[in-house]
C-alpha cells in the first residue's frame, strides 16, 4: 500500500520519437491514464510549467526537456482553460537575467513551444522566501517568483544521469526554481548526495507540484546532465508523486531507486514505499535499458553485505574515490561559468583559462555540469582507480 494520502501510480506511454503528433498523443494518453488533466488543475488556474532548461541547449543535445513535450503539456493545460507560464531558473553558473532567459528559451525552442500553444514565457527574475517549518533540513527556501505566484506547478522533466545526484528526473528538476546564483550555496551546505536528496524532498514537499510529466523518449546516459550521450528509452511518464515517478525512472535506466538520494530520503520519511509503486499503461519492462551507461560516480547495483561494504568505503574514502575535475586547456574559452558556480571558490580564470585548486574541491561537479565547451574532464587519481577497481 502507498503511504496515506499519496498516489504512487505512474503512467507509462510508448513514444518512439519526437514527432509532434506522436508526442502529443503519448502525453495525452499518459495524463488520461492517471485520471485526466482535470484531476490536477482547475479551469482558470495559473500554472507554472517547469521544464528542464539548464542553460538552454538545442533539443537534439538532449540536455533540456524536448520542446515537443513542453508544447504538448502546455497545449493540454491551455485547452483546459489554464493560464500557462513556462519558467525555470537556468543552471547555477548562469546569472538569472532576462537576456540569459531569452537566449535559453530560444536555443531550447521553448520560445517556439510558447508561441504555438499560447503559453507565456517567464521573464520575472525576482524571488520570494517561502517558509517551510516542517522541513527536515530546510525551514525556508528562496524561490523564483513565478513558482510562488502560480496556483499550481506542473513539472516537465527530462531523464538524465547526473554526476552528483546519480539521476535527474522529477525530484531534482524542481531544484531549478531556486534562483541561479543561489544554487551553489545548497551544494556547499549539502555536500553529499543523500544530504542533497533530503533537501530536494523538503523542496518538493514544500512546493507540492501537482503533476509530473517526464520526457523519457530519449534520455541522457553517461556523465550527465550536460556531457553525457543521448540514449533512446521510448516512453513518456506521468504521475502525481515525484518519488514514485523517480522510482519507475530509476528502474527504467537500470539503477536502484534507493541509490538516488531524494528517493531514499522519501522512503526514510514514510513518503514512499517502492514496492507499492504501480504502473498503468504500457509495461515498463518493454522499455527498460539495463545497460544504460551510469555516471562515473555511480556505485550502485550491488546488494547485501557487499553493497554495505561499498557504501562504507565510498563514505570513508569519498574524496579519493570520487573522480576529480580537471580543465582541458585547449577547450576552455575562459567564459567563467565554472568560476561563478563553484560553491567553494576552487576555480579561478586567468588569461582566458580556468584552473582548479583540488585541495578545496568538494567534488560537487557543478563545473562539469555547467561547462558547455566540455572543457572540464573527470578522472580518478591512481588510488581512486585502484579503489574503483576494487569496488567495481
Residues that bind ligand SF4 (CB under 6 A): 325, 327, 332-338, 341-342, 344, 346-347, 349, 354, 356, 361-367, 370-371, 373, 375-376
- In the bound state with ligand SF4, the residue whose beta carbon lies nearer, of 114 and 375, is 375
- In the bound state with ligand SF4, the residue whose beta carbon lies nearer, of 148 and 338, is 338
Contacts of 106 (CB under 8 A, 6+ apart): 56
322-354 b/e (C-beta count within 10 Å ≥ 16 → b): bbbbebeeeebeebebbbbbbbeebbebeeeeb
Task: Compute the least distance from the CB of residue 197 to ligand SF4, in Å.
Answer: 17
Task: Compute the least distance from the CB of residue 388 to ligand SF4, in Å.
Answer: 17
Could you tell me if residue 342 is left (phi over 0), alpha (psi between -120 and 50 degrees) or otherwise beta?
beta
Report how far residue 218's alpha carbon sits from residue 210's, in angstroms, rounded to the nearest whole number: 24
Give 204-255 as a DSSP string: HHHH--SEEEEEEEEEEESSTTTSSEEEEEEEEEEES-HHHHHHHHHHHTT-
Nearest CA to 287 out of 26, 5, 7, 8 is that of 26
- In the bound state with ligand SF4, the residue whose beta carbon lies nearer, of 186 and 292, is 186
Whether the Cβ atoms of residue 323 and residue 378 lie closer than 8 Å to each other: yes
- In the bound state with ligand SF4, the residue whose beta carbon lies nearer, of 25 and 355, is 355
Whether the Cβ atoms of residue 189 and residue 362 lie closer than 8 Å to each other: no
Task: Compute the least distance from the CB of residue 164 to ligand SF4, in Å.
Answer: 9
Residue 310: DSSP 8-state: H
- In the bound state with ligand SF4, the residue whose beta carbon lies nearer, of 269 and 353, is 353
- In the bound state with ligand SF4, the residue whose beta carbon lies nearer, of 303 and 330, is 330
Task: Compute the least distance from the CB of residue 217 to ligand SF4, in Å.
Answer: 29
Task: Compute the least distance from the CB of residue 377 to ligand SF4, in Å.
Answer: 10
The sign one gets for the Cα dihedral 223, 226, 229, 230 is: positive
- In the bound state with ligand SF4, the residue whose beta carbon lies nearer, of 43 and 330, is 330
Task: Compute the least distance from the CB of residue 80 to ligand SF4, in Å.
Answer: 41
Q: Which runs of E-coded beta strand occur in the chain?
A: 9-14, 46-51, 83-86, 120-121, 127-131, 140-144, 152-162, 166-168, 211-221, 229-239, 278-281, 324-327, 347-350, 353-356, 376-379
Continuous segment of H or E residues that includes residue 200: helix 193-207
Report how far residue 48's alpha carbon sits from residue 66's, in angstroms, rounded to the nearest whole number: 17
Task: Compute the least distance from the CB of residue 378 to ligand SF4, in Å.
Answer: 9
Alpha-carbon torsion angle 318, 243, 1, 14, nearest 10? -120
- In the bound state with ligand SF4, the residue whose beta carbon lies nearer, of 266 and 327, is 327
Report how far residue 189's alpha carbon sits from residue 199's, in angstroms, rounded to the nearest whole number: 10
Task: Compute the least distance from the CB of residue 332 to ligand SF4, in Å.
Answer: 3
Task: Compute the least distance from the CB of residue 370 to ligand SF4, in Å.
Answer: 6
- In the bound state with ligand SF4, the residue whose beta carbon lies nearer, of 288 and 348, is 348
Between β-strands 152-162 and 211-221, what pairing exists: parallel, antiparallel or unpaired?
parallel
Cβ burial of 126 (10 Å; 0-12, 13-18, 19+) is exposed
- In the bound state with ligand SF4, the residue whose beta carbon lies nearer, of 27 and 371, is 371
Amino acid at each position: 500500500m502507498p503511504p496515506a494520502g499519496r498516489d504512487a501510480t505512474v503512467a507509462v506511454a510508448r513514444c518512439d520519437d519526437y514527432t509532434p503528433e506522436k508526442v502529443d498523443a503519448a502525453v495525452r494518453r499518459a495524463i488520461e491514464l492517471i485520471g485526466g488533466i482535470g484531476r490536477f488543475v482547475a479551469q482558470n488556474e495559473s500554472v507554472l510549467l517547469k521544464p528542464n532548461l539548464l542553460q538552454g541547449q538545442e533539443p537534439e543535445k538532449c540536455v533540456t526537456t524536448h520542446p515537443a513535450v513542453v508544447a504538448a503539456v502546455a497545449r493540454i493545460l491551455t485547452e483546459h482553460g489554464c493560464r500557462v507560464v513556462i519558467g525555470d531558473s537556468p543552471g547555477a553558473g548562469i546569472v538569472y537575467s532576462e537576456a540569459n532567459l531569452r537566449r535559453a528559451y530560444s536555443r531550447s525552442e521553448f520560445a517556439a513551444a510558447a508561441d504555438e500553444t499560447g503559453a507565456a514565457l517567464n521573464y520575472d527574475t525576482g524571488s520570494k522566501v517561502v517558509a517551510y517549518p516542517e522541513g527536515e533540513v530546510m525551514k525556508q527556501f528562496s524561490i523564483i517568483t513565478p513558482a510562488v505566484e502560480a496556483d499550481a506547478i506542473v513539472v516537465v522533466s527530462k531523464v538524465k544521469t547526473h554526476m552528483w545526484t546519480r539521476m535527474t528526473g522529477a525530484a531534482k528538476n524542481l531544484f531549478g526554481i531556486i534562483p541561479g546564483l543561489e544554487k551553489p550555496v545548497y551544494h556547499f551546505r549539502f555536500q553529499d548526495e543523500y544530504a542533497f536528496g533530503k533537501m530536494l524532498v523538503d523542496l518538493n514537499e514544500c512546493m507540492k507540484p501537482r503533476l509530473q510529466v517526464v520526457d523519457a523518449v530519449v534520455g541522457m546516459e553517461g556523465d550527465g546532465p550536460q556531457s553525457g550521450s543521448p540514449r533512446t528509452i521510448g516512453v513518456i511518464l506521468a504521475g502525481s508523486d515525484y518519488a514514485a515517478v523517480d522510482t519507475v525512472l530509476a528502474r527504467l535506466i537500470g539503477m536502484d531507486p534507493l541509490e538516488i538520494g531524494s528517493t531514499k530520503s522519501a522512503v526514510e520519511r514514510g513518503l514512499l514505499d517502492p514496492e507499492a509503486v504501480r504502473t498503468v499503461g504500457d509495461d515498463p519492462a518493454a522499455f527498460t535499458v539495463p545497460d544504460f551507461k551510469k555516471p562515473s560516480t555511480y556505485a550502485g547495483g550491488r546488494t547485501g553485505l557487499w553493497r554495505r561494504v561499498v557504501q562504507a568505503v565510498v563514505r570513508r574514502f569519498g574524496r579519493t574515490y570520487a573522480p576529480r575535475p580537471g580543465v582541458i586547456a585547449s577547450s576552455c574559452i575562459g567564459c567563467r561559468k565554472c568560476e561563478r558556480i563553484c560553491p567553494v571558490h576552487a576555480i579561478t580564470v586567468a588569461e582566458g583559462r580556468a584552473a582548479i585548486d583540488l585541495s578545496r574541491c568538494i567534488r560537487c561537479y557543478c563545473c562539469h555540469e555547467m561547462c558547455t565547451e566540455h572543457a572540464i574532464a573527470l578522472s580518478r587519481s591512481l588510488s581512486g582507480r585502484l579503489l574503483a577497481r576494487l569496488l567495481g
